[in-house]
Amino acid sequence: MRSMTSTERLNVMKNGSEVVLRNDDMEAYLSLCPPMPGDPYRLSEVMDFLEGRGVTFGINESIIKAILEKGKYNCPVLVAKGKEKQDGKDGWFEFLFPIDDKKGPKILPDGSVDYHTLDEITMVKMGEKLVYYHKAVQGENGIDVRGKPIVAYRGKEQRMLKVKGVTISEDRLVYMAAIHGKVEYANDKLTVTNVYEINSDVDYLTGDISFEGDLIIHGNIAAGMALKATGSITVSGHVESAKIEAGKDVILESGMQGAGKGSIKAGGDVSGKFFEQVEITSIGTIHANSILNCIIETEGEVVVSGKLGIIVGGVVRAVHGISATIIGNMAEVKTELEVGVSDSIISEIAACEKEIKESDEKVNQINVALNRIADIESAGKNTKDIAQQKLKLMRTKIILSSEAAAAKAKKEHLLMKKEQSGTAKVVVTKRIYPGIKVTVNGVATQILDMHTNICIKRRGEDIGLFANE
């Protein structure tokens, strides 16, 4: 019997053998049909067969040799494997200090509030390493058994952090404190600010305090004193009828008895165990265990929690909402609560729009006048009076444009407040007593009976009282 030619053996394979691609063409399985007796396949013939089926990469010749030597036919065998891609990784920052920016007091298991944990300040020394930047990994492309490239993800570099009070190494990989102070990270900005610590009471011996940075008072604040800081103010002791103003948060580990003269103004959150006869203005959230006869206004929310969690007397306004355990008392002390935005906000928005329109119209009139002057100047008829008139018009235009810009900024802020107020509500987890006036987005109602565990919110043109979920 003559031996078959290579072409004949290849035809036998084509007629009875099979190549199956799996796992997105990353694996090729070969099932060879038996050769003619006494006329085995050659390795080169099998390689040609695989190539004819599109398999060109990752072929394991030793496995194929084993198939031919052992006569493993009519059985799928993995003979080729692609190269998996290795995805890259984006650059990332490794922070060497806690960056959890969750604020507010901790609720203890017994329901009380721990205000001593509010002043979790991370202090650093000059030259101390704060952040490591890990460069992006580019990745490595793969290839399937057909020889088709598999593109790997190429890691992207991150933008450098915005910094203040921080130095950056020449290779831009290490961020270090440039000064002694408090380190913070928020909104992609790394900041080390000065911290002024006073280990005594603030009274007439120390005088009023004003500081560019954060203030930490490890004592009490006497009546009549004034504290002002561009950063946060933290007080571990008791506060009497003082005036406190902070660019960021105000944190009172005890509380404040304002006697109708004390006030707090904060560009961030305000926290304290209790506030009594205090006027508070805040941008953020106000946390307390009790609020008694205060005047409060915040663009955030008011949260009164803990064992007592009570609001009695005064006026409390919060754009985002008010929540408390108890509101009012058996004596039915007059208490006013207002959430969301009032009709006055709507009026202010309309007033801003009117101011913007009038300013734009006046600017347009000035532009017409300036164009006329330009024509006169081109004609060579320029005079001293014309020059003075031109100067006056340009000054007026600058003033009007500045006023319009301010009105636009105010309008945007009011619109944001209006949008944020859409879900504003008053939540009472235990009791609300009669004598409480509640206003939600400009609609007011009077609480005439005691209610328990309710939510007060706007319902169409009216206010509804709903059971808490």
Contact 251, 215 (CB under 8 A): no
Which amino acid, 423?
T
> What are residue 391's phi and psi, to 5 degrees?
-60, -45
- 299-321: pLDDT as tens digits: 899 999 887 899 999 999 998 89
Domain map of the chain by residue range? 6-81, 92-103+121-192, 194-284, 343-422
121 falls in which pLDDT band (50, 70, 90)?
low
Q: What's the mean pLDDT when you consider all of the chain?
A: 87
Assess whether pLDDT exceeds 60 at residue 116. Answer: no
Phi, psi of 442 (to 5 degrees): 85, -10
Q: What is 153-202 written as a DSSP string?
A: PPP-PPPPPEEESEEE-TTS-EEEESSSEEEEEETTEEEEE-EEEE-S-B
Kindly report, residue by residue over 160-170, the tens digit of the pLDDT.
999 999 999 99
| pLDDT tens-digit series, residues 128-153 | 999 999 999 989 999 999 999 999 99
Question: Within 13 Å, how many C-alpha atoms sit on residue 192's CB side?
Answer: 21
pLDDT band at 421 (very low <50, low <70, confident <90, very high): low
SS3 90: coil
Compute the average pLDDT of residues 445-463. Answer: 87
